[in-house]
Amino acid sequence: DQQVKQNSPSLSVQEGRISILNCDYTNSMFDYFLWYKKYPAEGPTFLISISSIKDKNEDGRFTVFLNKSAKHLSLHIVPSQPGDSAVYFCAASGTSYDKVIFGPGTSLSVIP
Amino acid sequence: DTGVSQDPRHKITKRGQNVTFRCDPISEHNRLYWYRQTLGQGPEFLTYFQNEAQLEKSRLLSDRFSAERPKGSFSTLEIQRTEQGDSAMYLCASSGPGGIDTEAFFGQGTRLTVV
């Protein structure tokens, strides 16, 4: 049973446009959500997070939106740059932060 | 401190052999995690330590897998009698004490190939 879902395996976006990556979760006990970025041959790198008490968190070009009632979150990248091309993992954890559950990832390609 | 370090980066082994991986977390991080990632999938949680105590172990971890974290510093993950299905990237991550804002930092992983 996959608790964190990313239904789009891949996404292509033109440089300068907005990239929107979506994520759904099933476990209502999740209280903290994270996005990680992964380049080939490297481990995942933390990108941005959001607590369930918020519905938006922004860090530079990256914004994460959380809709708790829909159990849905999204990552917006504006403007998209070729260096953003990577696999993006949505992840979630409970309040005790003992482990993080990852989605399957979305491969983003930003086309120059 | 240069981050989470994993050794070796690559390991090729014959089926039936035992392998051991090492993870050195970021200094003073008290939590250490092991994940496994196969092609096209996200990292799957295997086990988690807080200091030297192993607090949780996934049902994905069969009896052939064992992890230790002596003295609450580095950790080792051993796989006995390896099988081809064990071929994957094994990722280690660590996080510091604190509250909900403490995210995990990952190492570059050990890629295991069982032939």
Q: Could B102 and A97 be called an inter-chain contact, meaning their C-beta atoms sit closer than 8 Å?
A: yes
pLDDT, averaged across chain B: 90
Best A39, A99, A102, A106 member to test B by mutation, with max B CBs in 10 Å, is: A99
Q: Could B48 and A98 be called an inter-chain contact, meaning their C-beta atoms sit closer than 8 Å?
A: yes
pLDDT at B8 > cutoff 80: yes
Q: Could B42 and A99 be called an inter-chain contact, meaning their C-beta atoms sit closer than 8 Å?
A: no
**Which pLDDT belongs to residue A91?**
93
Question: Is A11 in CB contact (< 8 Å) with chain B?
Answer: no
What is the mean pLDDT of the segment spanning B90-111? 82
**Which pLDDT belongs to residue B55?**
87
Best A8, A34, A52, A100 member to test B by mutation, with max B CBs in 10 Å, is: A100
Which residues lie below 8 Å from residue B8, measured CB to CB, with a gap of 6+?
Answer: B21, B110
Digit-coded pLDDT (tens) for A4-35:
999 999 999 999 999 999 999 999 889 889 99
Residue segments in chain A with a per-residue pLDDT below the cut of 70 = 1, 95-98
| Distances, alpha carbon B51 to alpha carbons A49, B69, B82, B108, in Å | 24, 8, 28, 21
**Which pLDDT belongs to residue A97?**
55
Digit-coded pLDDT (tens) for B39-55:
889 999 999 898 999 98
CA distance B6 to B106: 9
Of B93, B103, B108, the CB nearest to A42: B108
**Which pLDDT belongs to residue B19?**
98
Q: Element (H or E) spanning A31, and its range?
A: none
